[in-house]
Amino acid sequence: MNEIISVKRLSKSYGGLSAVQDLNLSVMQGTIFGLLGANGAGKSTTIECMLGTKKPDTGRVSILGMNPFRQRKQLFENVGVQFQEANYQDKVTVVELCQVTQSLYRHAADYEELLKKFGISHKAKSMVKELSGGQRQKLFIVLALIPQPKVVFLDELTTGLDAKARREVWKILSDLKGKGLTIFLTSHFMDKVEALCDTICILRKGKAVFYGTVKEAVADSPYDKFEDAYLWYSDEEVNDDENI
């Protein structure tokens, strides 16, 4: 198996406040990697430092053997990205956004197929801002898949999706994984992470507090269920205890 993503000793702070500290990650081809943690644990900062939209203070990032700063154009021919915040023009339609995205890549996928696969092809002529939260989320996953990427980054992909839509999206992603796609995702939704992620890393205040498989995470914790184990690692549970 090839290493697709390698992060070594990544650190980033904002005005003295440490957001990510000394993080090491390694993602193998055809696997799903989950970067987990509470809001503000440093997931988005990590993903942005990896993609080069933020500059890490120290550390080395390599994706598909390339440096995201120096080899940006070459690298992003093969990388799909879905950011947490919606970023599109005010009056743009679904089909226009897809066409432009398709035009950016040399080997783009057929976006109509993808829209169909995600069940939003009937919305092609609608304005993006008129879509429901779930439809918009699906659209941004479609945009991330248009380059026919070797690796795809999904930041909080299940936000705004209802249970049924989440299940559909997970199904599509695990099919794509079966075809060799490498997936890097962040989530604070433990639903399905357990079944899908080959490797997880749990962040707390910018530091990795667990790195390994879901099974190991449960075994190393005092709990039997992954969700409980996750809360224990990410320290979300402590507050609940205090309330009791």
Partner 1 sequence: MMRTFRIMLKNEMKLSLRDMNMVIFAICIPLVVLMILGVIYGNKPAFPDAEYTFLEQSFGALTTIAICAGGVMGLPLVVSNYRSRKILKRFKVTPVSPAVILAVQVVIYMIYSVASLILLYIVSAHFFGFRMGGSIFAFLGGYLLVMLSIFSIGMMVGGIAPNSQTASVIASLLYFPMLIFSGATLPYEAMPGALQKIADILPLTQGIKILKATSLGLPIENTFVPMIVMVVLAVICIGVSLCFFKWE
Which residues make up the interface to partner 1 (CB under 8 A)?
Answer: 51-53, 72-74, 76-77, 79, 81, 83, 85, 87-92, 96, 99-106, 147
Cβ neighbours of residue 81 under 8 Å, at least 6 residues apart? 51, 144, 152, 153, 155
Give the nearest distance from C-beta 89 to partner 1 in angstroms: 6
Give the nearest distance from C-beta 88 to partner 1 in angstroms: 7
Nearer to partner 1, 69 or 175 (CB): 69
For the chain, what is the radius of gyration of the CA atoms? 18
Give the nearest distance from C-beta 147 to partner 1 in angstroms: 8
Nearer to partner 1, 152 or 231 (CB): 152
- Pairs from 174-178 (Cβ < 8 Å, separation ≥ 24): 174/32, 176/145, 176/152, 177/30, 177/31, 177/32
Nearer to partner 1, 155 or 194 (CB): 155
Give the nearest distance from C-beta 56 to partner 1 in angstroms: 15
- What are the start-end ranges of the H helices in 52-127? 72-75, 94-103, 111-117
Nearer to partner 1, 2 or 53 (CB): 53
